[in-house]
Amino acid sequence: MKVLKTIDSLKSEIENIKKSNQTIGFVPTMGYLHGGHLSLMKEARKQTDHVIASIFVNPLQFGANEDLDQYPRNFERDELLAKEAGVDILFCPEVSEMYPYEMPMSIQVHKGTDVLCGQSRPGHFDGVATVVMKLFNLVQPSKAYFGQKDAQQVAIIMNMVQAFNVPVEIVQCPTIRESDGLAQSSRNVYLSENERAEASMIYDSLKQACNAIKNGVLNRKEVIKRVKEHLENGTGEIDYVDILTYPELEIQEKLSGKVIVAVAYRYENARLIDNNIFDIEEENRHV
């Protein structure tokens, strides 16, 4: 596996790969790798000739009071894990390499940002879209891999690719969980022992919502109320609970079709997100 820190060195590798007409699978990450990231890399390994992963903690997507400085980092460990997962090139630029001067422009996301993380983290998805567009232009992948855990992010990246005719296929991969159901996340390391023991209730609350919907509770507000009641037993704070159509992310008071049940929950040093996406009519056919 090659570890590249500069755009110039990446460009020359990409040129060589393109000359040989081989496909590139790309996995953008912020590092502190876990099973979720590795599952994306392994999927890319299966589907494409060259796997390129990036590790870049992108300042543009962090708000002023967010955890940019505290975001966990461990490059040596990430390097080993990425290699084991079959990555060919690990691109890990410094901030000064990606943004050598203040960006004179950025992508502004107009749709799908008035809900969920877009609402609680203003400007976050503009930062995500801007860095992903830069990375797509550098890496020129045929396919790029994103996790369902950040479902709003994938929906926005898919919209971006469509809106700007970016020639890349977005592959959405399932959420990888710990054995008790907690979604794997780099931020889980900041949970206290008690919080970690409790945090599987986030996934439990999503399952409960799914069951209620399957049992015919199709009133959006009622299902949200039940999820909140479940989460109110925890020691953290609910940031949001919502149920929206997916991938459109629109409010629908009487639930039908494909929906996302999404939760953000704030512990002392970590804000966790999780979701469940399913087709109500499809689920009911299996009951």
Please list the active-site residues.
37
Write down the least CB distance from residue 148 to ligand AMP, Å: 6
Of the two residues 149 and 220, which places its CB atom closer to ligand AMP in the complex? 149
Of the two residues 138 and 176, which places its CB atom closer to ligand AMP in the complex? 176
Which residues are at the interface with ligand AMP (CB under 6 A)? 29-30, 36-37, 39-40, 146-147, 149-150, 173, 175-176, 183-186
Write down the least CB distance from residue 156 to ligand AMP, Å: 12
Which residues, in sequence order, are CB contacts of 48 under 8 Å at separation 6+?
23, 24, 25, 141, 142, 143
Of the two residues 37 and 220, which places its CB atom closer to ligand AMP in the complex? 37
Write down the least CB distance from residue 146 to ligand AMP, Å: 4
Write down the least CB distance from residue 168 to ligand AMP, Å: 14
Please tell me the distance from the alpha carbon of residue 33 to that of residue 31, in angstroms, as a whole number. Answer: 5
Burial 108-135 (b: 16+ CB within 10 A, else e): ebeebbebbbbeebebbbbbbbbbbbbb
Of the two residues 131 and 210, which places its CB atom closer to ligand AMP in the complex? 131
